[in-house]
Structure 1
Amino acid sequence: MVLLCTLGWAGFLALHLALNGRWWPWLAVSLLPPVALAAVPVALLAAALAGGAWGAAGLAAGCLLVAWPQNGINLRALGRRRSGCPDPGSGPRLVSWNTQHWNQGGDPDRFYAFLRELDADVYVLQEYLNGFEGGEVWDIDDEERLRAAFPDHHRAIGNNAVTLSRLPLAGPPVPVGACSLRADLRTGDGVLSTYNVHIPVQLTVMNPLRPAFFRDMRRRSRARDAEYAALVADLRDNPHPVLVTGDFNTSAAIGDIRRMPGSLRDAIGVCRSVLPASWNARSRLRLWRIDWAFTGGGARVGAYRFRDARGLSDHLVQELTLISPKKGND
Structure 2
Amino acid sequence: MSPATAVALAWTVFLGAHLALNGRWWPWLAVSLLPPPLFAVVPLALLAAAAASESVPGAALAAGCLLAGWRENGLNTGALKRSSRQTAGIRVVSWNTQHWNQGREPDRFYAFLHSLPADVYLLQEYLNGFEGGEVWDIDDEERLRREFPGHHLSIDNNSVTLSRFPPAGPPVPVGACSLRVDLHTPDGILSTYNVHIPVQLTVMNPLSRAFFRDMRRRHGARLREYDALVADLLANPHPFLVSGDFNTSAAIGDIRRMPKTAHDAIGANRSLFPASWHARRKLRLWRIDWVFTSAGVRVRQYAFRDPGGLSDHLAQDVTITTTPIEEMNR
What per-residue deviation string (whole Å, max 9, x for no partner) do you get for residues 70-121 of structure 1? 11111121122xxx32434x32101000000001111111111111111111
Match of 1:206 in 2: 204
Match of 2:250 in 1: 252
Give structure 2 stretches of 5+ with no counterpart: none
RMSD: 1.2
Q: Paired residue for 1:163, among 155, 161, 164?
A: 161
Q: Is the 8 A contact 2:47 2:62 kept in 1?
A: yes
**Distance in 2 of aligned mates of 1:164 and 1:177:** 20
Q: Paired residue for 2:67, among 27, 51, 65?
A: 65
What per-residue deviation string (whole Å, max 9, x for no partner) do you get for residues 118-147 of structure 1? 111110000000122433211111001101
Counterpart of 1:22, as a letter, is R
Q: Paired residue for 2:42, among 35, 40, 48?
A: 40
Q: TM-score, normalised on structure 2?
A: 0.96
**Distance in 2 of aligned mates of 1:25 and 1:100:** 27
Q: Is the 8 A contact 2:74 2:274 kept in 1?
A: yes
For the residue of structure 2 that corresponds to 1:312, the secondary structure is coil
| Count of paired positions | 325
Q: Paired residue for 1:21, among 15, 20, 23?
A: 23
Counterpart of 2:179, as a letter, is L
Counterpart of 2:167, as a letter, is L
Q: Is the 8 A contact 2:188 2:324 kept in 1?
A: no
Task: Report whether the alignment pairs 1:4 with 2:2.
Answer: no
**Distance in 1 of aligned mates of 2:53 and 2:131:** 51
Give structure 1 stretches of 5+ with no counterpart: none
Q: Is the 8 A contact 1:279 1:288 kept in 2?
A: yes
Match of 1:188 in 2: 186
**Distance in 1 of aligned mates of 2:33 and 2:161:** 29
Q: Paired residue for 2:33, among 27, 31, 34?
A: 31
For the residue of structure 1 that corresponds to 2:325, the secondary structure is coil
Moved over 6 A (4+): none
For the residue of structure 1 that corresponds to 2:74, the secondary structure is coil
Match of 1:224 in 2: 222
Q: TM-score, normalised on structure 1?
A: 0.96
**Distance in 2 of aligned mates of 1:216 and 1:264:** 30
Q: Is the 8 A contact 2:156 2:173 kept in 1?
A: yes
Q: Could you tell me the percent identity over the aligned residues? A: 69
What per-residue deviation string (whole Å, max 9, x for no partner) do you get for residues 277-321 of structure 1? 101111122222000000004112111111111111000110010
For the residue of structure 2 that corresponds to 1:310, the secondary structure is coil
Match of 1:283 in 2: 281
Q: Is the 8 A contact 2:119 2:163 kept in 1?
A: yes
